[in-house]
Chains A and B, each alone.
Chain A
Amino acid sequence: MKFFGFVIVCLTGGLLLYGTMDLPDWGDPGSPASTHLSDYYIEHIVEETQVPNLVTAVLADYRGYDTMFETAVVFCAGLACFLLLRDFRPGKDRYFRHVPTGVMLHFKNPDTRLVAGNEFEHMDKEWVPSDMIIKTVCRILIPFIQIYALYVVAHGDFSPGGGFQGGVIFGSSLILMAISYNLKTLVKRVTEKFLSIFAAAGVLIYVGIGVAAMLMGGHFLDYGMLAPLLPSDPGHIRALGMLGVEIGVGIAVMAVMVIIYINIVSEGRHDEGL
């Protein structure tokens, strides 16, 4: 069986390598992409969209469909992770620790509830003593990371950045919270319902802007048609449309990052892990 797998992998790899022989050389000035398309973009983007960052303009405007389905792929990744890993069975044994004394309680019956104040804290399988240095520094850093993520999303049409990058930075700030405290702290603040709704809402914002352009009488994702809806300079409308799209992408990527992280580290139980 392993042998057949090896043969199939070699065959597929060989075919892919054979397919690359037809591609133009890297940086070849005579290749189709460099003769018509790039020149057009470089000459016309600023006057057509008023967006100084060419990469964002190509990504979010000229190739808007592509980016929309990329966002859908990210959403599907989160959905697949949820469907494959999520485990709704009641948890196994649970451990609690009395903070002042260090006494440990072991609950074998999963239905038992511990009615107590803040003196008890939940313990994981891989529980480690809470480290004040790491907690404090992460508490200081996380808001700055989040502000930077919002800056990267909002400034995507002027400088390097955009929805995908900003979403990843925001998601990683939430993951940092789960690492420095514990998973319970994150799940208590950012619930599963919240994340699921946001992952879907991000894709919906993207598609919604496209449909809004259609309702105003243009093509799908034709941001220029949105001008009557927004009280702004009509020449600048394409940049605003791109910003809306980037915000949708950022929300979806942030939510999906956190969904994947939580499901993988807790083996789908959302109760304990890293």
Chain B
Amino acid sequence: MHILINIAAIFFLVMGLVFFLGGAVGIIRMPDFYSRLHPAGKLDTLGIFAMVTGLVIYNLHHFSLETLLLSIKMFLIVFFVFLASPTATHSIVDAGMRAGLRPWTQKKKKE
């Protein structure tokens, strides 16, 4: 039973790490402001969800009221990040559009 729980926890943690890695690479590699915000918003939501799920499963090794309450509190963090992070991304993009920053387009040099 413990092995199964450990495997599940490791699976979710590694999944979160993969998402975080992809997001970090994306922030560096993407060409402009708006497209860089895209991976930034992604890794804040799905990455944190996967990581916290892994931690919650690991935390519920010894099932009792205390660990259950702690797990609920961890999921509350995910809930607030899910609310706040996309809103922040949205408002940053909004501000960029209003400031007159043009989205990036591929320049065609075929003459």
Residues of A whose CB lies within 8 Å of any CB of B are 128, 131, 133-134, 137-138, 140-141, 144
Contacts and interface: CB of A to CB of B under 8 A. Distances in A.
A137 B87 contact: yes
A128 B87 contact: no
Main secondary structure of the interface of B (DSSP, over half): helix
B91 A141 contact: no
B63 interface: no
Nearest to A140: B83
Main secondary structure of the interface of A (DSSP, over half): helix
Contacts of A134: 87, 90-91
A141 B80 contact: yes
A80 B83 CA distance: 37
B80 A144 contact: yes
B91 A131 contact: yes
A1 to B, nearest CB: 36
Given A131-B91, A134-B91, A141 B83 contact: yes
B40 to A, nearest CB: 17
Contacts of A144: 80
Nearest to A128: B98
B70 interface: no
17 contacts: A128-B98, A131-B91, A131-B94, A133-B87, A133-B90, A134-B87, A134-B90, A134-B91, A137-B83, A137-B84, A137-B87, A138-B87, A140-B83, A141-B80, A141-B83, A141-B84, A144-B80
Nearest to A136: B87
Contacts of A131: 91, 94
Nearest to B84: A141
Interface string B65-106: 000000000000000100110010011001000100000000
A144 B77 CA distance: 11
A133 B92 CA distance: 13
Nearest to B90: A133
A134 B94 CA distance: 11
Contacts of B87: 133-134, 137-138
Given A131-B91, A133-B87, A141-B84, 12 more contacts: A131-B94, A133-B90, A134-B87, A134-B90, A134-B91, A137-B83, A137-B84, A138-B87, A140-B83, A141-B80, A141-B83, A144-B80
